[in-house]
Structure 1
Amino acid sequence: MRFHTRKWVKPEDLNPNETLFGGRLLAWIDEEAALYAIIQLENSRVVTKHMSEINFMASAKQGDIIELGLDVTRFGKSSLTLRCEARNKMTRETILTVDSITMVNLDESGKPKPHGKTEIEFVRDRLDNND
């Protein structure tokens, strides 16, 4: 799994128990999944269709650094399915896992659009080396 993003837990991210609010973490994950899918599918019109069961395993407190990791598990005709892990960089504990996040590629009218992708691409591989 590649960990692409780090988030710093700040006072505004806490719940009444003074630990990381789960909804804040899920918002970070949804944004990270969207950004990842946009880059992979080369289309800014991508939406979240489905998120499977979310398994909270640990928490985080103010000042902790959270890492978000994503892996592609499936390329559909117009979708990309990811799995996610959020971990606490300070304690090395897994905070949560999401087995399946389905992102859908859309056309200009908001309808699912085939993307033609079958494997993960890295930006460096898309660059034309003949310049």
Structure 2
Amino acid sequence: MRFHTRKWVKPEDLNPNGTLFGGRLLEWIDEECALYSIVQLENPKTVTKYMSEIDFKSSAHQGDIIEIGIEVVKFGTASLTLNCEVRNKMTREKIITVDKIVMVGLDEEGKPKAHGKTQIEFVKDRLSN
């Protein structure tokens, strides 16, 4: 799994218990998956279609640094299926896993748009062509 993004847990990210608010973490995951999928599918009109059950393993506290990892599971006709793991960089504990996140590229009318992709492309490979 590649860990693409790090986030610093700040006071505004905490719940009343003083730990990372789960909703904030899900927002970060959704944003990271969207950005990753937009780049992979080369379609800025890419949206979250589905997110499977989430499993919180531990938490994070103010000042901790977390890392968000994403892995491509499958390329569909108009979609990209990912899984995600978030870990605490400071404690090395796994915070959450999401087994299945489906992102879909849309056309101008908001309908699924076939992308023709079958494998991960890295920016360095696109630039060398």
Question: TM-score normalised to the size of structure 1?
Answer: 0.97
2:40 and 2:13 map into 1 onto residues whose CA distance is 29
Unaligned residue ranges in structure 1 (runs of 5+): none
Q: Quote the sequence identity (%).
A: 75
The Cα of 1:50 is off from its aligned counterpart by 0.2
1:118 and 1:41 map into 2 onto residues whose CA distance is 10
Unaligned residue ranges in structure 2 (runs of 5+): none
1:35 and 1:110 map into 2 onto residues whose CA distance is 18
Question: Cα deviation per residue 1:46-72 (whole Å; 9 max; x = unaligned)?
Answer: 000000010000000000001000000
2:66 and 2:85 map into 1 onto residues whose CA distance is 10
2:51 and 2:127 map into 1 onto residues whose CA distance is 32
Question: TM-score normalised to the size of structure 2?
Answer: 0.98
Aligned CA RMSD, in angstroms, stands at 0.7
Question: Cα deviation per residue 1:11-55 (whole Å; 9 max; x = unaligned)?
Answer: 000000000000000000000000000000011000000000100
The Cα of 1:124 is off from its aligned counterpart by 1.0
Taking the TM superposition and a 5 Å limit, the aligned residue runs for 1:1-131 are 1-129=1-129
